């Protein structure tokens, strides 16, 4: 099993690598780090850029920058994790790109808030479903995407 630091290093080293497989520990340590960093970034945004009562749209430049920076490695590790048990990993980026685009479009206030909220709830449900799928253990032995990451030294 990987340590949190090892998992984050692997994900950053494989920044845009969609081929191969990712172990459960690599995926979940990365996901935990992204969640904690997102909470920190949003908290910092709220502290440094407080929304006024007149503002219709909150301003989150730190989180937006962080989101764009981790988008590719997050899609890559999720794709590799799905491929670890021989499932639809290559389709994940196709599902994730519209989610990212809708999140970014919604931040500038050009999209009706109610519609954006409904879309985001749907996207959150899809992400939760994928996260639940990623709980599964690795497929033993090699598969079409490569050797089992738990059987190969990192």
Per-residue pLDDT of 60-96, as tens digits, reads 788 888 988 998 999 899 999 999 988 877 777 766 6
Partners of 146 in the beta sheet?
143
| Chain segment 4-59, per-residue pLDDT in tens | 999 999 999 999 999 999 999 999 999 999 999 999 998 998 888 876 545 656 66
Q: Does residue 46 contact residue 17 with C-beta atoms inside 8 Å?
A: no
User: Considering only CA atoms, which of 66, 91, 98, 92 is closest in space to residue 78?
Assistant: 92
Q: Which pLDDT score, from 0 to 100, does residue 103 have?
A: 59
């Amino acid at each position: 099993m990987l340590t949190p630091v090892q998992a984050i290093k692997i994900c950053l080293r494989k920044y845009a690598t969609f081929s191969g497989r990712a172990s459960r520990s690599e995926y979940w340590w990365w996901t935990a780090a992204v969640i904690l960093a997102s909470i920190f970034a949003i908290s910092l945004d709220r502290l440094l850029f407080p929304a006024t009562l007149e503002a219709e749209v909150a301003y989150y430049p730190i989180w937006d920058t962080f989101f764009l920076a981790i988008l590719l490695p997050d899609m890559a590790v999720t794709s590799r994790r799905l491929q670890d048990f021989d499932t639809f990993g290559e389709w994940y980026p196709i599902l994730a790109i519209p989610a990212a685009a809708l999140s970014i479009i919604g931040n500038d206030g050009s999209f009706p808030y109610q519609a954006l909220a409904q879309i985001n709830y749907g996207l959150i449900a899809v992400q939760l479903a994928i996260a639940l799928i990623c709980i599964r253990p690795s497929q033993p032995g090699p598969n079409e995407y490569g050797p089992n990451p738990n059987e190969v030294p990192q």
